[in-house]
Structure 1
Amino acid sequence: MRRSHDRLSSAIRALLVLTIVANVVFFAGLMLPGDPAPEIIDIAIPILAQWAPVGVFWLVAVRTRFARPEVVLAAAGVTCNAAADTFYTLAMDSSGELPSPSPADIGYLLYYPLILAALLVLVVRQSQGSLRPALFDGAVASLGAAAVLAVILGPVFTDAASGTSVLGNAIAGLDPLFDLILITAVVAISASPALRIGTRWPFLVAGFLLFTGADIAYALLTRADAYAAGTPLDALWTMGVACLAIWVDGVTRLPADARTPEPEARVLPVPALAVLAGLAVLLIATQTPVSPVALILAAATVVLAAVSVLSRHAAASRMLRSRERLVTELQALDRAKSDMIHTMSHEMRTPLTSILGYLDLVLDDDLSAETQARLHVVERHARRLQDLAANMLMLTRLDAGEDHAVSTPVGVERMLRRVEASARPLAQSRQVELRVSADGAHTVSGDEGELELALAHVVDNAVKFTPAHGSVDVDVRTTAGSDGTPHATVTVTDTGMGISPDDLPRVFDRFFRGSHAQQHAVQGSGLGLAIAREIVRSHGGEVTISSELGRGTVLRVDLPLQPSPALSSSPRLVPER
């Protein structure tokens, strides 16, 4: 099956190459000086240029097992056109014309409804409701194109209506009418980016524009008795069919049920151009007589464009109101969540304090070693719950934007010494060397309790994620901030497990625990760094982090120094690296 598909694809590529070569030779031959052109240019090459694309269409239909109706209909249409052209070429007189009506007209007239049916099937298969948002755009574009074509083809329709032969009049009128319908259909499709008509959609548009453009030029030249066979105009029909063959080979490579919109590059300003075209027709009508049909189409284009703008404005207003309601509801839910967390955390603290108090009393009694060990487990988990409740309360207070309870000058070194004393037991139990270098005098302004809590979270986090025999180094120095003002930068460097590149952007997210933390069963709620950053930012500072998996992590807490006259004697500013 795969081999057969490959052979079909190879045959299609070969026919496409033959089609392109035939068209190049045909066009070049028509450009050669001399009249008449050789028979191979006037007869053989154009017939080849018509039938090679027919082969492409039918081979594509076979490749899809005739499961794509649009391909079968289009193949039938180009077959009728090729048969009509072949008859015309073989039966025309020495001047290159064939009296109408003739059997060739049957093929030409069948081509249009078959191609339009193929486009309709393609639109229906690919839209499935996604066409609705572009309905106004397509209608505006098609009306604008129809208005322009009605002006251009008005004389042709007038001549067709004034003829003496009913059949001749019908054929003379149907040809330009089908051209008008086909052009408007293609313009409407081009105006709808929601349709997925293949990656080679420009070839579809170019093909129909070439074909119908040649038809319109032929009709106007014939009306003026200026058409002559063997001119480059004859090559436009075969070039149009060649473009359609290139397009159909590409569109059948899409899944049959593909409905995903194409890239933004396919979005064209067709509706806007159509409105300009309608306005141009109305302007021309003020100076030159224009057919009533063209005037109606032009006016309908402008009116429908106005309706489209008003409807979109109304839709945008409804969407805006809906989003405002949604934002209000989300804000209410967020407040309810914060209130619930605050209430739960607050209500947890009282029983936990009581539990821990009674545990202390029980542990003071003469108990067996096994009982004491069990009670210590209870105590440890109770303290974890107490810490979690405190963290949750802190987050709700920070979210509420409450001002710091106390804002006073705070010595960074003094805070670090207290943090070191608090973290030392944890570091010793994990066999981690904790080194704190807190010499000098760095004073910041803020809530000392909050800032100490932030630094404690950072240092505890580094100790917890450093394996046995590792180290955690903490130092503070004066640096220059981005605005040139002096800052106190606390750097915490550990030799821990590090953070993966995927997890690093999320380490400050609430309740986030990295993949390595879960793998190594490191205890924690995922709130420590989130709280630390919120506190530091509320004090005008920033927390940054860098890490290498398996090597360790460096975290910097940057706080603006308190302005004071004594600042001039502070340590020399060191640019942040």
Structure 2
Amino acid sequence: MLTTSRGISLVLALAISTLTVLFLLLLDDATPTLLVVAGSISFSVSYILMNVTLEFLIFNEISNIYGVLEKIQKKDYTSIPDKSDKLSISPLRKINKTINSYAQAKNKEIEALQKNAEFRKEFIADISHELKTPIFAAQGYVHTLLDGAVEDKSVRLKFLKRAAKSLNALDKLVQDMLTLNQMESGVVKFHFESFDLKEVIHEVIEELEHKASKRDMLIRFYYDKEKTYRTFADKEKIFRVCQNLISNSIKYNNDGGEIDVSLKIHKNQITVEVKDNGKGIPPEDLKRIFERFYRVDKSRNREKGGTGLGLAIVKHILEGHKSKISVSSTLGKGSIFSFELPLEKEEAVVSSNKLIK
């Protein structure tokens, strides 16, 4: 009984009412009615005050603390309530807040560890799969040559070329991994300079036109001929961004498809947009295409080549420019990738919006 707030309140209320009655008995004019009324009132008031104080300021907080401690002991951090913002005059509230804060921090730490563990598992599986493809291919060609095919000059040359191609793919994969890792760790330094973004995109298109023509694709470049699109950025890395986006549009477009590259100026920003009319990207994949090795269609993508790291590198390059890559896509209609770079202040002038091919 004495372990509950009601039991303790009852005992204390009886003690207070008894002391009150005994005190009144010392008075000469104390009547029995007065003693009963005074005893009843002192008992009732004392009981209510004691019960409220003990229940809400002490026992309730102690119960919450025990509940949190039990969950911590069971390593169950998911259902711990966050009451840190709740106002209370209880002296135990500070202890409860401290324990709750610890539990919440522990919960976040465990969630982060679980995500990292899952990421490591996926990464190891992905990198193992990516590495074994060119390695097994090169091994196959080399072992075939060692088993006697080396004597046939035509077979030897063909197999050596294929082995070299596989090893080149392996080298590109390793280089992309190193680049991405260096960007994420901040090792890669950006060398900012002033340049015309229009000229960079022209260079990329000239480099990729032959690749597009093989599949009867048309690349169109829209910009205002009266403008210069000068920006202050890392020219080499922005070249790689544009190269990757346009190359992907060629790689994953339909034969005979169209690719539209455009430059637009809005206020003090230059927007680069790469649009294709290919198969598009499913909505469930849009949020993940910038992850390492993530492929929308793994079998189709491997046939078309690539390391699966291009868009991840694009994302990190643009983050280094305090920008971001945006994508929208409709199945059966194509995709649009876009990003922004700052327009040099002296070039931020009002001009016509007339576009040319």
Taking structure 1 as the reference length, the TM-score comes to: 0.39
The runs of 4+ residues in structure 1 deviating greater than 6 Å are: 144-148, 291-296, 327-331
Residue aligning to 1:288: 42
Residue aligning to 2:310: 528
How has the CA–CA distance of structure 1 residues 373 and 492 changed in structure 2, closer, same or farther, with 3 Å as cutoff? farther
Say which of 131, 144, 165 aligns to 1:380.
Answer: 165
Is the partner of 2:44 in helix, strand or coil? coil
Cα deviation, residue 290, structure 1: 3.4
Say which of 56, 59, 79 aligns to 1:304.
Answer: 59
Residue identity in the other structure for 1:464: K
How has the CA–CA distance of structure 1 residues 387 and 437 changed in structure 2, closer, same or farther, with 3 Å as cutoff? farther
Residue aligning to 1:449: 236
Distance in 2 of aligned mates of 1:376 and 1:427: 24
Distance in 1 of aligned mates of 2:99 and 2:40: 36
Give the RMSD, CA atoms, in angstroms: 4.3
Residue aligning to 1:391: 176
Distance in 1 of aligned mates of 2:49 and 2:272: 77
Cα deviation, residue 498, structure 1: 0.8
How has the CA–CA distance of structure 1 residues 292 and 381 changed in structure 2, closer, same or farther, with 3 Å as cutoff? same
Residue identity in the other structure for 1:538: G
Cα deviation, residue 445, structure 1: 0.8
Distance in 1 of aligned mates of 2:219 and 2:154: 31
Is the partner of 2:287 in helix, strand or coil? helix
Per-residue deviation, residues 181-222 of structure 1 (Å, max 9, x unmatched): xxxxxxxxxxxxxxxxxxxxxxxxxxxxxxxxxxxxxxxxxx
Q: Is 1:514 matched with 2:296?
A: yes
Residue aligning to 1:473: 260
Distance in 1 of aligned mates of 2:40 and 2:327: 71
Say which of 243, 247, 272 aligns to 1:460.
Answer: 247
Q: Is 1:420 matched with 2:205?
A: yes
Say which of 284, 292, 296 aligns to 1:502.
Answer: 284
Q: Where is the strand percentage greater, Structure 1 or Structure 2?
A: 2
Residue identity in the other structure for 2:212: A
Any gaps of 5 or more consecutive residues in structure 1?
A: 1-138, 152-283, 356-366
How has the CA–CA distance of structure 1 residues 427 and 310 changed in structure 2, closer, same or farther, with 3 Å as cutoff? same
Distance in 2 of aligned mates of 1:454 and 1:285: 87
Distance in 1 of aligned mates of 2:163 and 2:156: 11
Query: What are the equivalent positions in structure 2 for 1:112-511 lying under 5 Å apart?
Result: 287-290=41-44, 300-302=54-56, 303-311=58-66, 312=68, 313=96, 315-320=99-104, 322=106, 370-402=155-187, 404-437=189-222, 439=225, 440-478=227-265, 480=266, 485-511=267-293
Distance in 1 of aligned mates of 2:286 and 2:108: 34
Distance in 1 of aligned mates of 2:231 and 2:293: 29
Residue aligning to 1:155: none
Cα deviation, residue 295, structure 1: 8.1
Cα deviation, residue 524, structure 1: 3.0
Residue identity in the other structure for 2:163: V
Taking structure 2 as the reference length, the TM-score comes to: 0.60
Per-residue deviation, residues 354-384 of structure 1 (Å, max 9, x unmatched): x9xxxxxxxxxxx955444333323332232
Distance in 1 of aligned mates of 2:286 and 2:60: 50
Query: What are the equivalent positions in structure 2 for 1:527-546 lying under 5 Å apart?
Result: 527-546=309-328
How has the CA–CA distance of structure 1 residues 417 and 321 changed in structure 2, closer, same or farther, with 3 Å as cutoff? closer
CA contact under 8 A between 2:172 and 2:307: conserved in structure 1?
Answer: no
Which protein has greater RCO, CA pairs closer than 8 Å, 6+ apart?
2
Is the partner of 1:507 in helix, strand or coil? coil
CA contact under 8 A between 1:544 and 1:556: conserved in structure 2?
Answer: yes
Residue aligning to 2:142: none
Cα deviation, residue 415, structure 1: 1.2
Cα deviation, residue 560, structure 1: 1.4
Cα deviation, residue 532, structure 1: 1.2
Cα deviation, residue 410, structure 1: 2.1
Cα deviation, residue 573, structure 1: 6.5
Is the partner of 2:228 in helix, strand or coil? coil
Distance in 2 of aligned mates of 1:434 and 1:441: 21
CA contact under 8 A between 1:144 and 1:298: conserved in structure 2?
Answer: no
Distance in 2 of aligned mates of 1:560 and 1:448: 13
Distance in 2 of aligned mates of 1:145 and 1:518: 73
Cα deviation, residue 436, structure 1: 3.4
How has the CA–CA distance of structure 1 residues 572 and 324 changed in structure 2, closer, same or farther, with 3 Å as cutoff? same
Is the partner of 2:327 in helix, strand or coil? strand
Cα deviation, residue 540, structure 1: 2.9
CA contact under 8 A between 1:285 and 1:295: conserved in structure 2?
Answer: no
Cα deviation, residue 327, structure 1: 9.0
Is the partner of 1:290 in helix, strand or coil? helix
Cα deviation, residue 421, structure 1: 2.8
Q: Identity across aligned pairs (percent)?
A: 20
Cα deviation, residue 285, structure 1: 9.2
Residue identity in the other structure for 1:429: K
CA contact under 8 A between 2:292 and 2:308: conserved in structure 1?
Answer: yes
Distance in 1 of aligned mates of 2:53 and 2:338: 67
Any gaps of 5 or more consecutive residues in structure 2?
A: 14-37, 69-95, 139-151
Distance in 1 of aligned mates of 2:181 and 2:40: 70
Q: Is 1:550 matched with 2:332?
A: yes
User: Aligned residues, how many?
Assistant: 266
Distance in 2 of aligned mates of 1:418 and 1:535: 19
Residue identity in the other structure for 1:307: I
Cα deviation, residue 451, structure 1: 0.7
